Structure 1
Amino acid sequence: MGLTRRKFLKTAGLTAGAVGIGLSGFDFKAWAEVQEDSEVVKRPSLCNVCASHCGMWIHVKNDRIWKVTGHEENGRSQGRLCPRAHGGIDWVYDPYRLKQPIKIEDDGSVRPIGWNQALDEIAERLTEILEEEGPEKVFYAHNPRRTGVFYGNRFMHALNVSTIMTHNAACNTARGRGFGATMGGVPSADIGNSKYVVMIGRNYGAGIRTSQLKAVNKAVKGDTTLVCVDPRQNETSIIADKWVPIKPGTDLAMVLAMCKVIIDDDSYNHEFIEEHTIGFDQFADSLDEYTPEWAEELTDVPADTIREMARGLADAAPAAIVHPTWKGAFGCNYENSTETARAVAYLNALLGNINQDGGLKFYNGPSTGSLDPDRYPAPSAPDTKRADGAGVEDEYPLATGHGLPHVLAERIKEGRVKAGFVRHHNPVRNFPDYDHMEEGFGALDLLVVFETQRSETAMVADYVLPEPSFAEREEIIESRGGSRGYLAMRTQAIPKMYSKTRSFDEIIRELAVRMGVGEYFKFTMDEANAAILEPFDISLIEFKEKGSMMVDVPQPEPWPELGTPSGKFEFYSETFEKHGAPPVAGWLPPATGLEFGDNEFRLVHGKEAYHSHTATANTPQLLQITKDYDTNRLWINASVAEEMGLADGDEVKVTSDIFSDTTRIKVTERIHPETVYYPGSYGNRTFHYRVAHEIDSLNPNDFVKYQVESIVGHAMVNEVIVTVEKV
């Protein structure tokens, strides 16, 4: 008689127990057959390998992840996932994951401790700092996603702490402020319906959201003209109609010249400019010297190409876009990034494309419910001064609320900041000038890091509190906008692997009680999520089965009232003028200049489609792609390499004014001759990332010194000149 599943599971449990006390008889073949025949179930979740949080299905077999697939009703994944999502499964099963809280002593020794001891000690030390130093000397830094915002911000507000920061100062602070000052926020690009698109430093082919790739695919298969402006022929440039290699740091000159062409041609949208903008005349009058020929001298982009792009946009308007990018030329890379962002916004305004099909759109998201404030009171917003000076008069008044972690590191060393909490964020490694960041964050009296792995920031922490992996926990429902809005939730797909890990909401709730502010957390996550779903015809139980759900939302009205002080598009910003910044954007060179000596280059970096910043080089499957395609090399122009006597694969020494290291080169025609490029995915310094150390690699941030942009205070991550010489 055959062994049934029910009988086998019963006897296997007994046999396993027998083996545990030294008896034999375990039938491995029968056990394997049962495992192979086990049911596969799909459970909804959100990827956690990058900040996009794409919707996924986690396919589970025998309580283990079998595979992941894209969620069809999630606006970002739309049924597909990028390589990072598939490789990210390894995070769950990484043998070096943090499995219980650890305390790092002053001598650097690491001691596992229990949760009660960890939380008691953290609460005691934090209370002392708040009482002796004040809430102005405490901060919270995180990757701003729904659960971290919901619980972390609430906890900080309860303590009257105002310094809440994200990674944006090394990513897109200049873009946010530049677009915010001109049109009240950063819109989305309706590429799929556009007729002419100019991308400046944007690379959908590597900074992957599958929904965006679908839009680009639709565009290039249709009659859209796609032009990519980038010092390097990136992955998106390969499928574009035209790649325009530009001298890095000069994009502002090109954009100003394009504006001049459109105004001189009288091809701008008169109705939009006359009825929905202020300061146009001042801007138009400032353009006299910004001719395409002037821009060509600075940018190496031919004057005729500048005219071609400007006229192509004007002819296709309003279904035309200069992409608002993410990081690229005007996210945070240069001294002139804020002015470049404003100029790009100006160029879009000339096209009259705001909330037009094929233009830039301010999409609505689903309107969600919230906890009853009478039953679950929320703390008041803090009234204390920010520790990093962001938004503070006489410091960095135009900086965004995302904060300035690199400035904070300086202030920690000066004794002006004493305690911090960091979640899913690695400022020590992912900002320029490693020594500056490590010394700063390492000098805190109290640093608490919430992580699943021991990152570089966790290396200098006092306590590291491990959460379960993304597949083992539930989180707060997210609401997202788009051509169709959607709701999405991370649900628990597999049982928690390590009993001594705890979710962020649990940790914060217990800390809040110890800090005397527990009254603000007298609700469960289920109660919070049920309140969010209140306006929708679905229960929380039903939603947990779906995970993601499309929601019809009102589409944005063309040429709306904008979120600027005037309610109109502002070519002239009185806010900038008030704080000593130019009211109208004009030419500003990079801080490191545009003239290079022998064997000198500007070092730039970018993403790869299979890595997420420096978080994934420790993932075996993803690092194998690096090994297979030999991508951890420095790109250098082929003609320049020939002049220097360099061949593909040669080892070179790369030196800046603060750092020097060696690497191999990739010789290619796909890069501007005054530029070298290295992917930003490598160079981990934590010894816990054992897999990452299987390859020799650099990190571009190591070559960039600590510096602060003059308008919004971002980190200027491409303001570095390096020399390259053969080893």
Structure 2
Amino acid sequence: MLEEKISRRTFLKATALAVGALSVGAVGTFSFETWKGKRAEAERKDDIRVIPTLCAACSNYCGLNVYVKNGRVWRAVGLPQHPKSKGKICARGHGLLATPYLRQRLTQPLKRMEDGSFQPISWEQAFREIGEKLQEIRTKYGPGVIAHISYSGRKTARWYGERLLWALGSPNTFTHDASCNTGRVVGFEHTVGGTPGTDIANARYMVYMGRNLAEGITPGDVFELAKAREKGAQIVVVDPRGNNMYQMATKWVPIRPGTDLAFVLALAHVLIREGLYDAAFVKEYGYGFEQFAQAVEKYTPQWAEEITGVPAATIEEVARGLGKNKPRAFIHPGWRGPTGNSYANSVDTARTVALVNALLGNYQKEGGLIFGKNPPFGNLDPAKYPAPEKPALPRVDNEWTLPHNVVTAVPDKIRDGALKAIIVNSSNPVMHYNNPLYAREAYKLLELLVVVDIFMSETAELAHYVLPEVSYLERDDVVEGIGGKKPVVALRQQAIGKIHPETKASWEIYRGIAEAAGVGKYFNFTIDELNQAMLAPTGLSLNELKAEGTVVLNSPLLLGTPNFETPTGKVEFYSTNFKAAGFDPIPNWKPPLVMPDVSKGEFRLINGRQAYHSHTNTTRNPYLLALTEHYHGDRLWINRRVAERMGLKEGDWVEVRSEAATARVQVHLTEAIHPEAVFIYAPYGSLAKDAPGRNFAFSFMTLLPYHKLDPVSGIAMTQEIVVTLRKI
């Protein structure tokens, strides 16, 4: 039984004992088989139910079988058929099982008073006042000043949020993508028509640039990577930091942070110069190859060595490894890192990665990159369930012509008066998308801010109304689709009863707001009715899906012939969309926005995911914070030789200073980081008043200067931070 009164020390001791017992098979005369027998006996004596559902620790939403014992969450195991989990659960997934029982949960609707305090109110009052304020703002300014922000993985929040905004007449729906992977999405979409997955199990040569599968965990991918390694696959990790994938890698290439674009351009140069590319594939599926080939002639490995610090011989070795193993070779598209949201050149890095993969002819090939097949979802019958029309108004972020939404621009749009009311669900835009101090002052200017969450986040602290949602184990959500070699349908369903009676599921909250705002006719259905309509084309019933949790549809993808959804229908070595938007149609070298001056003791501050945390969401969890405490997971990584020259020892405190702010942190000395960089894990340093995570390290976002956003994608370039260190 999960109870928060268990101490961190007890939790860690119990975890260590369990791991030890499983590793040796027996402790004294108590064997593993004996333990299994006793557990089975206990299960027979208690009221045990097993509910298949989905985790919520990150955007993978891995499949779980949750064991509910006498009405409480007892334990969980991974669903073998779910492609993300494949029967496994990571530390975050285990820790989050405690979420329903955490004391810091929001338990009733709150209204912020004039003195800044929050007072409990009824749902009836909350809905009425929010609805009236939305109507007032829409009448006064027009519907285009209203926006909705959600975590992109929360399909329920996205689906219902968009429907509500459209019903009100606004097109301004945002997700958190610009803080995560928009650079990659823009680069790949306008080069090959979308972002593919990777066929790890069948690959022979893989390059991961700033992508850390062992900490930005997809358990199924880690499992496949280990199997590929056992079969002899070569795994190259290109990263300023020796991340946890190093354990499975055959080579680590420490690169100067911010210079990955130069590395990939040089790979393209070698592949073309030495005839290692798939000429037949390029001829059939390429557009503008000759212009690209001419452009990369100057990007030699020797040129790239000066910029990246990677020896020319290593660049040639990696290029030849890719070329000689094509098409069962790839450069991973990435996620955040160098192709995501980190640098001024992230979009062009993503474009070039997409093009190098095209040179390998690996799209829709075993061991290469695969555009997966998605399940065929339906929708509600509009004759029975009226649907709002898509608004004709332009989006407030329409100056960015290539991406779909630029949530990083919201603070400026608020300051400009273009946004007056925002509803936020399962997201924390004040903390995650740009400099939080700048964002916080902007969000204070809103006439209406409504936050739907389970904890009091930095954004919720500024809200006029905070609406408490049930936890992921207490609700049903909109059905999920997962693309792959076979399409997959999955469902998060309620596993336990409500812990706090005054909490509600998101779909209930949107319906209540819609009715109060005068657009309730668009929400005259239950979530079961929505899910049944979505499932209709798959041939699955909702009851069948609830019984299994995750279902793999018997509709395999046919490999071999790629379909590139670009304007030309081909791989665009010369991008027609970039040309039309006024950007360079061919990716060329572009330096990062800032570079540290090593002679002045400057470093680039880089950040990344941690195996047992996701964003600031999980730093509310005392069990996962116990891991942070035990493993000193909030320390600043610095190159050992550099640190020793500065007179630093393991655990010393330093002041970290950027042009935006200063912070204090303990250091971790290691050889596994580039000497020109320092590294901090991403989730710490919360600014919320009662968040446990505020007691650990600092948030790299507070040290991020408020740069002008990337003109191509709108990303905030969150690793364009130069800092100095001072021992204290």
**2:135 corresponds to 1:127:** yes
**2:117 corresponds to 1:115:** no
- For 1:209 and 1:477, the matched residues in 2 are separated by 20
* Residues 723 and 106 (structure 1), Cα distance of their counterparts in 2 relative to 1, 3 Å cut: same
| Contact 1:321/1:359, CA 8 A, preserved across alignment | yes
**2:95 corresponds to 1:87:** yes
User: Who is 2:704 aligned against?
Assistant: 704
Deviation at 1:35, TM superposition (A): 11
Deviation at 1:352, TM superposition (A): 0.5
Map residues 253-272 of structure 1 onto 2, 5 A cutoff.
Answer: 253-272=262-281
Aligned partner of residue 236 in structure 1, secondary structure = helix
Deviation at 1:330, TM superposition (A): 1.1
Aligned partner of residue 621 in structure 1, secondary structure = helix
- For 2:251 and 2:215, the matched residues in 1 are separated by 18
- For 1:526 and 1:45, the matched residues in 2 are separated by 15
Deviation at 1:103, TM superposition (A): 0.6
**2:728 corresponds to 1:719:** no
Larger deviation: 537-546 or 90-99? 537-546
User: Who is 1:3 aligned against?
Assistant: none
User: Who is 2:187 aligned against?
Assistant: 178
Runs of at least 5 residues in structure 1 that lack an aligned partner in the other structure: 1-32
- For 2:600 and 2:418, the matched residues in 1 are separated by 42
Aligned partner of residue 422 in structure 2, secondary structure = strand
Amino acid at match of 1:69: V
**2:656 corresponds to 1:648:** no
Aligned partner of residue 163 in structure 2, secondary structure = helix
Map residues 50-61 of structure 1 onto 2, 5 A cutoff.
Answer: 50-61=58-69
Match of 1:317 among 309, 323, 326: 326
Match of 2:258 among 226, 249, 253: 249
* Residues 62 and 293 (structure 1), Cα distance of their counterparts in 2 relative to 1, 3 Å cut: same
Amino acid at match of 1:173: T
Deviation track 1:616-670 (CA, whole Å, cap 9, x = no partner) reads 1121110001111111111000111121111111111100001001111000000
User: Who is 1:469 aligned against?
Assistant: 471
Runs of at least 5 residues in structure 2 that lack an aligned partner in the other structure: 1-40
Match of 1:297 among 284, 306, 309: 306
Match of 2:81 among 73, 78, 91: 73
| Contact 1:193/1:319, CA 8 A, preserved across alignment | yes
Larger deviation: 608-617 or 197-206? 608-617
Match of 1:199 among 199, 202, 208: 208
User: Who is 1:275 aligned against?
Assistant: 284
Aligned partner of residue 212 in structure 2, secondary structure = coil
**2:150 corresponds to 1:142:** yes
* Residues 360 and 515 (structure 1), Cα distance of their counterparts in 2 relative to 1, 3 Å cut: same
Deviation track 1:146-200 (CA, whole Å, cap 9, x = no partner) reads 2112211111111121111111111111100000111000000111110100000
User: Who is 1:22 aligned against?
Assistant: none
Amino acid at match of 1:718: Q
User: Who is 1:16 aligned against?
Assistant: none
Deviation at 1:536, TM superposition (A): 4.1
Amino acid at match of 2:438: H
- For 1:311 and 1:536, the matched residues in 2 are separated by 44
User: Who is 1:169 aligned against?
Assistant: 178
- For 2:267 and 2:538, the matched residues in 1 are separated by 46
Aligned partner of residue 499 in structure 1, secondary structure = coil
- For 2:43 and 2:319, the matched residues in 1 are separated by 62
Aligned partner of residue 656 in structure 2, secondary structure = strand
User: Who is 1:429 aligned against?
Assistant: 431
Deviation at 1:114, TM superposition (A): 0.3
- For 1:529 and 1:521, the matched residues in 2 are separated by 14
Aligned partner of residue 616 in structure 1, secondary structure = helix
| Contact 1:410/1:436, CA 8 A, preserved across alignment | no
Deviation at 1:91, TM superposition (A): 1.4
| Contact 1:183/1:563, CA 8 A, preserved across alignment | yes
Deviation track 1:18-48 (CA, whole Å, cap 9, x = no partner) reads xxxxxxxxxxxxxxx9999422211121111
Amino acid at match of 2:215: A
User: Who is 2:514 aligned against?
Assistant: 512
Match of 1:672 among 671, 674, 688: 674
- For 2:672 and 2:352, the matched residues in 1 are separated by 27
| Contact 2:637/2:678, CA 8 A, preserved across alignment | yes
Aligned partner of residue 592 in structure 1, secondary structure = coil
Deviation at 1:500, TM superposition (A): 0.9
User: Who is 2:409 aligned against?
Assistant: 407
Map residues 251-400 of structure 1 onto 2, 5 A cutoff.
Answer: 251-387=260-396, 389=397, 392=398, 395-398=399-402, 400=403
| Contact 2:150/2:176, CA 8 A, preserved across alignment | yes
Larger deviation: 97-106 or 369-378? 369-378
Larger deviation: 532-541 or 647-656? 532-541
User: Who is 2:581 aligned against?
Assistant: 579
* Residues 378 and 598 (structure 1), Cα distance of their counterparts in 2 relative to 1, 3 Å cut: same
- For 2:477 and 2:178, the matched residues in 1 are separated by 26
User: Who is 2:640 aligned against?
Assistant: 638
Amino acid at match of 1:397: T
- For 1:62 and 1:292, the matched residues in 2 are separated by 64
Aligned partner of residue 88 in structure 1, secondary structure = helix
| Contact 1:101/1:114, CA 8 A, preserved across alignment | yes
Amino acid at match of 2:192: M
Match of 2:111 among 103, 120, 123: 103
- For 1:281 and 1:536, the matched residues in 2 are separated by 44
Give the count of matched residue pairs.
Answer: 686
- For 1:35 and 1:107, the matched residues in 2 are separated by 52
- For 1:300 and 1:195, the matched residues in 2 are separated by 26
* Residues 315 and 599 (structure 1), Cα distance of their counterparts in 2 relative to 1, 3 Å cut: same
User: Who is 1:624 aligned against?
Assistant: 626
Amino acid at match of 1:243: W
Larger deviation: 533-542 or 449-458? 533-542
| Contact 1:406/1:706, CA 8 A, preserved across alignment | no
**2:165 corresponds to 1:156:** yes
The percent of aligned pairs where both chains have the same amino acid is: 42
- For 1:356 and 1:43, the matched residues in 2 are separated by 37
Deviation at 1:286, TM superposition (A): 0.8
Given the two structures, how large is their TM-score scaled by the length of structure 1?
A: 0.92
| Contact 1:364/1:481, CA 8 A, preserved across alignment | yes
User: Who is 2:617 aligned against?
Assistant: 615
- For 1:594 and 1:316, the matched residues in 2 are separated by 37
Amino acid at match of 2:400: Y
* Residues 143 and 578 (structure 1), Cα distance of their counterparts in 2 relative to 1, 3 Å cut: same
Deviation at 1:706, TM superposition (A): 1.6
Deviation at 1:552, TM superposition (A): 2.1
- For 1:274 and 1:188, the matched residues in 2 are separated by 23
Aligned partner of residue 533 in structure 1, secondary structure = helix
Bigger Rg over Cα: 1
- For 2:409 and 2:114, the matched residues in 1 are separated by 25
